[in-house]
A and B are shown apart, each in its own frame.
Chain A
Amino acid sequence: MNAPAIELKGISKAFGPVQANKDISISVMPGTIHGIIGENGAGKSTLMSILYGFYKADAGEIYVGGNRTDIPDSQAAIAAGIGMVFQHFKLVQNFSVLENVVLGAEDGAMLKPSLAKARKQLKSLAEEYELNVDPDAIIQDIGVGMQQRVEILKALYREADILILDEPTGVLTPAEADQLFRILRRLKQEGKTIILITHKLREIMDITDTVSVMRRGEMVGSVKTVDTNPADLAERMVGRKVLLRVDKTPAQPKDTVLEVRGLNVTDAQGVHRLKDVSFNIRAGEILGIAGVSGNGQSELLEVLGGYEKATGEILLNGEAIDLTGAHSDGQSRRNRGIAHVPEDRQHEGLIMEFSAWENTAFGYHHDARYQKGALMDNKAILADAQEKMDRFDVRPPNPMLAAKNFSGGNQQKIVVAREIERDPDLLLVGQPTRGVDIGAIEFIHQQIVALRDKGKAILLVSVELDEIMGLSDRIAVMFDGQIMGERLPSETDETELGLLMAGVTDTDAPHSVKEIEDNLAHAGTGEKV
């Protein structure tokens, strides 16, 4: 038995108060594809960045090919034969493919010989692994799939034997993903070791030999892929955590509050982000939008919240909303009775340098009750903030403290308090419990349900499936900018939703990888328009 290609022992890493990795051990045999699966924020990327020398571990040991190896920086990782394809590519956009490949791996002070050699090498690598890329193409002119190939070529050019790919299919269309998997299998045949980080079960089942599951910074366990199945993996990923049962009565929906018809968004890069999205929400109802992140949910929230332009039609209480003109901003939306708990509280929902009381008025600084003549009534805002913080049990209950000094859960409470207390007709909620501790999660969930029971319409976007299941009265699943279908929570399960999230609408063939693949191949969209 030969030594593992990679062995990690007792790796720990903390970012400030957040323990991203806790005593993680893992072992990967050479010539295999090893999957690391876990939910967003489980610590997978951190672990691999440590292996690549991008971050330094607080504790633990790394063995490469059986030898204890220190990897203080990327240079050392490269020297140890480790290559990494990051989730966000590390490419120089206005360089050619060739220049990107050569960068950092030049042979001498002069560029020409290095480039000539790399050109030759690329050609042979392309033949060996079916990795065809035009060496003179400029990165910003080629598609994401091609850019990913360049990243792989970069690693191979540096003679990497161990290749780490971090969520490689997150940005790929299904067809591109299939192509990538063909390449990975080919690399395995040639004796390379591959570590695949993903949160998609299908990919694990499809391509890996062994799989490790991570949850909340800890390693749950490693198994052979043939010995497991998606349901088992899902259970390990999510864990038998305390079921956050939300006490709620069945919804009593009334009139339609929000009507969305044929919404389309194309971003600055020309990518079609929302494709003909239509749905409606009634008063006293929570519509949950499930989906893997990056499938158009953020854009949907931004359009509804007024800070992304779109085409299509949105009716609020039967009246059209301006989507492109002078009234397509956050202020007009708030005036119309749309409140918004944004997905990213640190960069959108709060001004981190502002004190809590100032954040209480954020977005509502035009409210009449906060004005006193020409000035803002800071006393009123402060009193309001204090009262809200007390009611929402924000700790510490000190409105003078800057937002950045609160924990994630308490920051989120400040945002939720601000938006819910506005008594909006429609509340948009994005990832309400991302990075929030369990106590706060329950509280926030209760508040959302309470607002529903007051007869308000709520749009909930979350990548946490159990949150969607627990809170929603109706669930819509988004994939690739489209709504794949709507389900009632009582009539569906996580498996069915998971398939919809992967773009599969044919629910009669749940576990056949082959058929999923076929469906995905036909669903191929998302290319530049």
Chain B
Amino acid sequence: MDFFTIVQLGDASIRMAIPLLLACLAGLFSERAGIFDIGLEGKMLAAAFLSAAVSFASGSVWVGLLAGIGISIALSIVHGLASITFRGNQLISGVAINFFAAGLTVVIAQGWFAQGGRTPSLSGAARFDGIDFPGALTRVREKMQASPGMQFYSEFVSGHSILVYIGLLSVPLTWWILYRTRFGLRLRAVGEAPEAVDTAGISVVGLRYSAVIICGILCGIAGAYLSTAVQAGFTKDMTANRGFIALAALIFAKWRPWYALGACLLFGLFFAIDNRFQNIQLQVLWIMVILIGASAAMVLYAIKREKIDVIVLGGLSAVLTVIALATWVGSTGEEAGLVAALFETVKVPSQLIQSLPYLFVVIVLAGFVGKAIPPRAGGQPYVKER
């Protein structure tokens, strides 16, 4: 892997990370205020569609962006109604919003544009183009032959759309709002102890609505980024589960902005690797080491605990071990004996590579990567005592 490949990978990671990051920060505002939001996905999707549609109609991507933000805020307010005003189940509301967006975007897209649930291709002012920094090289061939510093500057630093830079800037901005402003203090307080906010004479409802509206704005930008910067138009289900990954990143980041950046870049890297290396070969030996190592670790963990741990983790270990052995035996051939088979290489199924981010999310949620303590009042509607 040469340096330029690494730079390209980094560049792709950032591109993949930005929508995750914006959605993650959106979730951060909402959850820090005590409102769970699994509807990030739906808000992004709705925003992706409407910003593409309005960009196309108006010819201005900025108008499109505003429209995207608008619809995302509208859905946020619906979520607010359900979870703040009517004290409903926040999970169910989020799920409903996801389905609503998934269905409605396609129905409306078909109704308006009749192109099979997508918007027409955007071009020119109806799209966010990359911004080339002064002196940056733009052609791949030139970049490949340039010095490492120039490669880094041209490929990694320069050439992204404005939304990428906005996304990156929103990290320090979020941090600043959260930890340096009165609003941030109150926001953090209302997710931890709404009764403290209430007795201090501040409106819990007002704060929580502000939080979900900010969440809407950020989801709106994330969605617009997908359909007007990454792609030139909306396609069905184009958010591709980013909303859920963003939630996992948020937990991984323990609801802190800078860590959110790190977590999202990590997930971005996963996706970049997945896109770039469809064909990963691994030596059987390594597969054995990874799978049997994981099995052994799980068994060791379980054995000191209760029966249920032994059953579940032991069973899982057995499955992994069987897969490892099957791979080994499967690689033996006419010319390769059992030992030689260890050094054969096998192709890792591309579906497995694609599933890695999801698997990683589960591992994160299992709490084996540091314990995440969510905002104390998260998910519960605020009711005064009695």
B201 neighbours in A (Cβ, 8 Å): 73-78, 104
Contact indicator per residue, chain B 218-261, by CB within 8 Å of chain A (1) or not (0): 00000000000000000000000000000000000000000000
**Among B60-68, B188-196, B262-270, which stretch is in contact with chain A?**
B188-196
- Candidates A76, A94, A104; contact of B186 at CB < 8 Å: A104
Give residues of chain B (138-186) contacting chain A, Cβ–Cβ below 8 Å.
179-186
A112 sits at the interface (CB 8 A): yes
Closest chain B residue, CB of each to CB of A108 = B182
Q: Is the CB of A110 within 8 A of B180?
A: yes
Q: Is the CB of A111 within 8 A of B192?
A: no
Q: How far is the CA of A266 from the CA of B232 in the complex (A)?
A: 62
B386 neighbours in A (Cβ, 8 Å): 15
Q: Is the CB of B180 within 8 A of A93?
A: no
B182 neighbours in A (Cβ, 8 Å): 106, 108-111, 114
Contact indicator per residue, chain A 79-92, by CB within 8 Å of chain B (1) or not (0): 00000101000111
Q: How far is the CA of A76 from the CA of B193 in the complex (A)?
A: 21
Looking at B183, B196, B384, which has the most chain A CB atoms within 10 Å of its CB? B196
Q: Is the CB of B181 within 8 A of A109?
A: yes
Q: Is the CB of A106 within 8 A of B185?
A: yes
Q: Is the CB of A55 within 8 A of B199?
A: no
B199 neighbours in A (Cβ, 8 Å): 52, 54, 74, 84, 86, 90
- Contact A92 B184, CB 8 Å, known A15-B386, A104-B202: no
B200 sits at the interface (CB 8 A): yes
Closest chain B residue, CB of each to CB of A84 = B199
Q: Is the CB of A91 within 8 A of B193?
A: yes
- Contact A95 B192, CB 8 Å, known A109-B182, A111-B180, A111-B182: yes
Q: Is the CB of B192 within 8 A of A103?
A: no
Q: How far is the CA of A73 from the CA of B204 in the complex (A)?
A: 12
Q: How far is the CA of A467 from the CA of B23 in the complex (A)?
A: 59
A100 sits at the interface (CB 8 A): yes
Q: Is the CB of B192 within 8 A of A99?
A: no
- Candidates B184, B196, B198, B376; contact of A111 at CB < 8 Å: B184
Q: How far is the CA of A106 from the CA of B197 in the complex (A)?
A: 13
Q: How far is the CA of A108 from the CA of B182 in the complex (A)?
A: 7
Q: Is the CB of B384 within 8 A of A99?
A: no
Minimum CB–CB distance for B173 against chain A, Å: 14
Give residues of chain B (80-128) contacting chain A, Cβ–Cβ below 8 Å.
none
Minimum CB–CB distance for A247 against chain B, Å: 37
Closest chain B residue, CB of each to CB of A78 = B201
Contact indicator per residue, chain B 373-386, by CB within 8 Å of chain A (1) or not (0): 00010000000101
Looking at B179, B184, B189, B197, which has the most chain A CB atoms within 10 Å of its CB? B189
Q: How far is the CA of A108 from the CA of B183 in the complex (A)?
A: 10
- Count of A interface residues, CB-CB < 8 Å: 32
Q: How far is the CA of A170 from the CA of B185 in the complex (A)?
A: 30
B193 neighbours in A (Cβ, 8 Å): 90-93
Q: Is the CB of A103 within 8 A of B181?
A: no
Q: Is the CB of A92 within 8 A of B181?
A: no
Q: Is the CB of A74 within 8 A of B196?
A: no
B192 neighbours in A (Cβ, 8 Å): 92-95
Per DSSP, chain B at the interface is helix
Minimum CB–CB distance for B386 against chain A, Å: 6
Q: Is the CB of B180 within 8 A of A103?
A: no
B196 neighbours in A (Cβ, 8 Å): 90-92, 100, 103
A84 neighbours in B (Cβ, 8 Å): 199
B185 neighbours in A (Cβ, 8 Å): 99, 102-103, 106, 111
B384 neighbours in A (Cβ, 8 Å): 54-55
Q: How far is the CA of A84 from the CA of B180 in the complex (A)?
A: 27
Q: Is the CB of B181 within 8 A of A110?
A: yes
Minimum CB–CB distance for B188 against chain A, Å: 7
Looking at A76, A94, A102, A154, which has the most chain B CB atoms within 10 Å of its CB? A94
Closest chain B residue, CB of each to CB of A15 = B386
Q: How far is the CA of A114 from the CA of B184 in the complex (A)?
A: 13
Q: Is the CB of B195 within 8 A of A90?
A: yes
Q: How far is the CA of A177 from the CA of B273 in the complex (A)?
A: 62
Q: Is the CB of B189 within 8 A of A103?
A: yes
Q: How far is the CA of A204 from the CA of B94 in the complex (A)?
A: 52
A105 neighbours in B (Cβ, 8 Å): 200
Q: Is the CB of A74 within 8 A of B189?
A: no
Closest chain B residue, CB of each to CB of A77 = B201
Minimum CB–CB distance for B128 against chain A, Å: 31
Minimum CB–CB distance for A368 against chain B, Å: 26
Q: How far is the CA of A93 from the CA of B201 in the complex (A)?
A: 18
Q: Is the CB of A104 within 8 A of B183?
A: no
Minimum CB–CB distance for B176 against chain A, Å: 10
Minimum CB–CB distance for B189 against chain A, Å: 5
Looking at A55, A95, A154, which has the most chain B CB atoms within 10 Å of its CB? A95
A76 neighbours in B (Cβ, 8 Å): 201
Q: Is the CB of A74 within 8 A of B180?
A: no
Minimum CB–CB distance for A163 against chain B, Å: 14
Q: How far is the CA of A78 from the CA of B201 in the complex (A)?
A: 8
Minimum CB–CB distance for A216 against chain B, Å: 17
Q: How far is the CA of A90 from the CA of B197 in the complex (A)?
A: 8
Minimum CB–CB distance for B306 against chain A, Å: 9
Q: How far is the CA of A100 from the CA of B195 in the complex (A)?
A: 12
Q: How far is the CA of A52 from the CA of B195 in the complex (A)?
A: 13
A55 neighbours in B (Cβ, 8 Å): 384
Q: How far is the CA of A54 from the CA of B382 in the complex (A)?
A: 14
Closest chain A residue, CB of each to CB of B196 = A90
A100 neighbours in B (Cβ, 8 Å): 196
A90 neighbours in B (Cβ, 8 Å): 193, 195-196, 198-200
Closest chain A residue, CB of each to CB of B375 = A94
Q: How far is the CA of A95 from the CA of B199 in the complex (A)?
A: 16
Q: How far is the CA of A103 from the CA of B193 in the complex (A)?
A: 12
7 A-B residue pairs with CB within 8 Å: A74-B199, A74-B201, A78-B200, A84-B199, A102-B185, A104-B200, A111-B180
Residues of B within 8 A of A (CB): 179-186, 188-189, 192-193, 195-202, 376, 384, 386
Q: Which 5 A-B pairs have the closest CB atoms?
A: A104-B200, A75-B201, A106-B182, A74-B201, A90-B196
Given contacts A54-B199, A104-B197, A105-B200, 18 further A-B contacts (CB under 8 A): A54-B198, A54-B384, A74-B199, A84-B199, A90-B200, A91-B193, A91-B196, A93-B192, A93-B193, A95-B192, A103-B202, A104-B186, A110-B181, A110-B182, A111-B181, A111-B182, A111-B184, A154-B200
